[in-house]
């Protein structure tokens, strides 16, 4: 049997360093995470601190950033790492994405030198965990409507508000929180570096969820959180700050979702080879092969697009609209592949003995977070027509 991505020989498009990083992450997932993923998913828990430290030892946290203990790898290597992590579980990739491409990236891109020195080295090793507080209970796709407010009180800032669906929120040591400053403080959206032991900051873990159960999800509450003047991210003014971080994180999802799809397809191929029905392997039936062929084609096309976007990013030519194309395609095709693979496994596909239903449930979240499919369609539509349909 040929591996799904082997048909297009995508390995030939990778250099030796990128392949080595990919293989290292794959071994870690297989040896350290995969034996526990079904249990973590069923129990809706994950040993986040232990996992973070191990991922830090591998150099995966903020791996695509430079300096401050970060590895400075290529965009392709980062994407491949996300693919292998999500081939294990979307929760693993989410932990790395939020840590490196949201919390760390915000500080690396927009923070002061003092903020970078204080947090980035510890976050790169996994000693400190970060989260990213943008989404609110009533404002997901429209972050500009956020109700979290920041007001000046002398030299200090006072934050009040709530953030929702925050990965790593209840285990984080530091939160990058976005709030709209009062008019007398400029009225712009500003980012703040908030140590989570600051009085008035609290986080409540959300356990009742059917997706991303092997991941920490929380609601943040900010009740008169007093911060010094130097807590603000000096280079982030307006919505471009958080939206730039989201574009960075969406890039990892392009590869990550394909990892979940690949794991589903490999599982279905192996199952179809050994499952006999009507006295021959399930994989010998024309309808089964048609399903597998279509899924292999879409996975291969998605991988080629992901690698192309990685090259553009490495050359400094990537645009948000291109990232939206990748995120939309990968998540849409991945969830379709997961659902089709479930049909090949039949009743066995709904059990935790196999990863397919777990991936399908996780991809329900990946499909909509960091930009729903509809939002990405509008981003692409605006790029094609020059007209904004957001309002």
Active-site residues: which are they?
370
d(CA 159, CA 172): 18
Return the structure tokens found at 261: 């799809």
Which one, of 373, 294, 282, 283, lies nearest residue 337 by Cα? Answer: 294
The string of DSSP letters for 190-226 reads EEEEEETTSTTEEEEE----SSSTTS-EEEEEEEEEE
d(CA 79, CA 56): 17
**Neighbour-count burial of 221, counting CB atoms closer than 10 A to its CB (0-12 exposed, 13-18 middle, 19+ buried):** middle
For CA atoms 98, 116, 59, 205, the dihedral sign is: negative
Place of tokens 């479930």: 342
| Separation of first and last alpha carbons in the chain | 50
Which one, of 176, 164, 151, lies nearest residue 226 by Cα? Answer: 151
Return the structure tokens found at 244: 């730039």
């Amino acid at each position: 049997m040929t591996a799904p991505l082997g048909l297009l020989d995508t390995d030939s498009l990778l250099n030796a360093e990128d392949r080595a990083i990919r293989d290292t992450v794959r071994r870690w997932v297989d040896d350290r995470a995969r034996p526990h993923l079904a249990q973590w998913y069923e129990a809706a828990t994950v040993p986040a601190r232990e996992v973070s430290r191990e991922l830090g030892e591998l150099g995966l946290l903020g791996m695509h950033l430079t300096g401050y203990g970060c590895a400075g790898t290529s965009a392709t290597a980062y994407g491949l790492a996300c693919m292998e992590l999500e081939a294990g579980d979307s929760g693993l990739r989410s932990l790395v994405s939020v840590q490196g491409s949201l919390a760390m990236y915000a500080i690396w891109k927009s923070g002061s030198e003092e903020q970078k020195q204080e947090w980035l080295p510890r976050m790169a090793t996994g000693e400190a965990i970060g989260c990213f507080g943008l989404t609110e209970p009533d404002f997901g796709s429209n972050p500009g409507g956020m109700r979290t407010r920041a007001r000046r009180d002398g030299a200090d800032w006072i934050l009040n508000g709530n953030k929702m669906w925050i990965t790593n929120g209840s285990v984080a040591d530091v939160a990058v929180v976005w709030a709209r400053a009062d008019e007398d403080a400029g009225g712009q959206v500003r980012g703040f570096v908030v140590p989570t032991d600051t009085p008035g900051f609290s986080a409540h873990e959300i356990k009742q969820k059917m997706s991303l159960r092997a991941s920490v999800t929380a609601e943040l509450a900010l009740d008169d959180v007093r911060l010094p003047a130097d807590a603000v991210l000096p280079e982030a003014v307006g919505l471009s700050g958080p939206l730039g971080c989201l574009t960075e994180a969406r890039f990892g999802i392009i590869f990550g979702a394909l990892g979940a799809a690949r794991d589903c397809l490999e599982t279905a191929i192996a199952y179809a080879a050994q499952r006999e029905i009507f006295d021959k392997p399930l994989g010998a039936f024309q309808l089964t092969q048609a399903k597998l062929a279509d899924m292999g084609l879409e996975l291969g096309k998605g991988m080629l697009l992901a690698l192309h976007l990685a090259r553009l990013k490495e050359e400094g030519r990537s645009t948000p609209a291109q990232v939206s194309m990748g995120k939309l395609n990968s998540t849409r095709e991945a969830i379709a592949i997961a659902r089709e693979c479930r049909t090949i496994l039949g009743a066995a596909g709904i059990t935790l003995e196999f990863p397919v239903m777990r991936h399908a449930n996780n991809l329900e979240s990946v499909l909509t977070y960091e930009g729903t499919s509809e939002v990405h369609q509008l981003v692409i539509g605006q790029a094609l027509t020059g007209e904004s349909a957001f309002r």
